[in-house]
Amino acid sequence: MLTKAQNLELTQVGRGTPMGEVLRRHWHPVAGVDELEREAIKPIRLLGEDLVLFKDLTGRYGLIERHCAHRGADLAYGFVEKDGLRCNYHGWHYGRDGRCLAQPYQDRVAPRGALRERILMDAYAVRAHAGLLWAYLGPQPAPQLPDWAPFHWPNGFVQIAFAQVPCNWVQAQENSIDPLHFEWMHANWGRRLRGEHDHAPEHVKMAFDEFEHGFVYRRITEDIDESHPLWTIGRVCLWPNGFYLGEHFEWRVPVDDENTLNVTWSYLRVPHESEPYVQQSIPSWHAPVADRRTGCWINTHVINQDIIAWWGQGRVADRTRENLAVSDAGIAMIRRQYFRDMEAVAQGLDPKGVLREPASAGGIPLPCGDAHEFFAKGLPRVAYEAHPR
Ligand code: FES
Ligand SMILES: [Fe+2]
């Protein structure tokens, strides 16, 4: 249980808030590289800031404030130039560094450019990696963009899915260190949704460990023993806002205090017969959370089930009223780390998980779950088609 003040500190993401400043020490995936191939400008909201992401005519990415410094028009309707973005209302032209490069008419009648030189929009770094566009909203120098080893796995088909989730990011991330919910939210609820009435094997043991890039949880159910990868390797609560389980990543990207962009990056090894396979481009798509006709939450997909749980806790979960149990030890661990991170940033230090050294070739290895064997090493087509997953 947290106090009201602690819950606010943990969940607020705006500039100048304790956790907002921690989150501004990390890169966040905000869009698919393919999205800006299709449409050069995309409005985004990240950490409570309204921004516009764009790819200019020379192929360079920019991320600046969404509203024009002149009279506030929406730059999402602007047009890209060789260098930067131009407002469609009166033509002010901004560079990727947020400087105003041109002010038509004003430049003609007041060519000294005093007004132009006064203008400096917020402008942030953007990098393309693994099919995603990553943004960094913090102070310079920016840390290394995490280059995880699965981003380099060969012979795979990668896809990216985005889901807009109407709740705070922390309750989504607490799910990344919650072993017990697999038994109930996925296994048992899944059975009930299919009209089945038996119970999934119960959990008999759980453990939680910290490592350099986050936390690992391990679990055993009645049907497996300590030789199973769920116990010997576990699953990763990736720091500070990710989850990794062997063939896919999820990031809970804070849009603002009450909204989260859930980003899923999934790798699927092609059947052996299709190797060698080189993917030309990584597709991304927006996954619905509710049925468009009925408005009801989609509950058949595992990730959608999680989303229903997160949202069910409220727009911002009220942690003054909860009662943590033994299975929530991991949640208590990560909260302690978030508060240590806030303290570190207040003292001018890097929080946990900030990378200052470039990753060696091949990326940073992570512990992998049992899915790794199947998805990363691949199988002949016939075995692949018979696999229950
Ligand atoms: S509001 Fe953008 S140029 Fe006038
Ligand atoms: Fe889940």
Kindly state if the Cβ of 102 falls inside 6 Å of ligand 1.
Answer: no
| Tokens coding 232 | 């010997």
What residue spans define the domains of the chain? 27-136, 149-386
Q: Which ligand is nearest to the CA of 301?
A: 2
Q: Which residues share a beta bridge with 133?
A: 31, 128
Q: Which ligand is nearest to the CA of 303?
A: 2
What sections of the chain are H helices per DSSP? Answer: 4-11, 18-23, 33-38, 106-109, 114-118, 169-174, 180-181, 189-193, 229-232, 302-312, 329-346, 371-377, 381-386
Tell me, what's the pLDDT at 374?
65
Ligand 1: nearest atom to the Cα of 103:
3
Q: Which residues share a beta bridge with 253?
A: 261
Kindly state if the Cβ of 182 falls inside 6 Å of ligand 1.
Answer: no
Cα 228 to Cα 201: distance, rounded to the nearest angstrom: 14
3-class secondary-structure state, position 7: helix
Instruction: Return phi, psi of residue 170, to 5°.
Output: -65, -40
Cα–ligand 1 centroid distance for 109 (angstroms): 17
Q: 24, exposed or middle or buried, with CB in 10 Å at 0-12, 13-18, 19+?
A: buried
Contacts of 209 (CB under 8 A, 6+ apart): 215, 216, 217, 218, 234
Cα–ligand 1 centroid distance for 146 (angstroms): 37
Mean pLDDT of successive 10-residue segments in the chain (389 residues)?
Answer: 97 98 98 98 98 98 98 98 98 98 96 94 98 98 96 95 98 98 96 96 98 97 93 94 93 98 95 93 95 92 95 98 98 98 98 95 81 69 74
Cα 222 to Cα 200: distance, rounded to the nearest angstrom: 9
| Tokens coding 93 | 């032209």
| Tokens coding 208 | 């939680």
Kindly state if the Cβ of 199 falls inside 6 Å of ligand 1.
Answer: no
| 261 close to 223: Cβ distance less than 8 angstroms | no
Tell me, what's the pLDDT at 296?
94
CATH entry 3.40.50.620 includes domain 27-136: no
Kindly state if the Cβ of 73 falls inside 6 Å of ligand 1.
Answer: yes
Cα 114 to Cα 280: distance, rounded to the nearest angstrom: 47
Quote the pTM value: 0.96
Nearest alpha carbon to residue 369 among 195, 182, 154: 182
Cα–ligand 1 centroid distance for 140 (angstroms): 29
Cα 327 to Cα 194: distance, rounded to the nearest angstrom: 27
Kindly state if the Cβ of 203 falls inside 6 Å of ligand 1.
Answer: no
Q: Do strands 284-286 and 156-165 pair parallel, antiparallel, or not at all (unpaired)?
A: parallel
Cα 89 to Cα 304: distance, rounded to the nearest angstrom: 40
Tell me, what's the pLDDT at 223?
95
- Ligand 1, residues 68, 85, 100, 115: which to mutate, most atoms within 8 A of Cβ? 68
What CATH number does the domain located at 149-386 have?
3.90.380
| 45 close to 21: Cβ distance less than 8 angstroms | no
Tell me, what's the pLDDT at 368?
73
Cα–ligand 2 centroid distance for 186 (angstroms): 7
Kindly state if the Cβ of 261 falls inside 6 Å of ligand 1.
Answer: no
Q: Which ligand is nearest to the CA of 52?
A: 1
3-class secondary-structure state, position 76: helix
Total count of residues recorded for the chain: 389
Q: Cis omega (within 30 of 0) on the bond before 254?
A: no
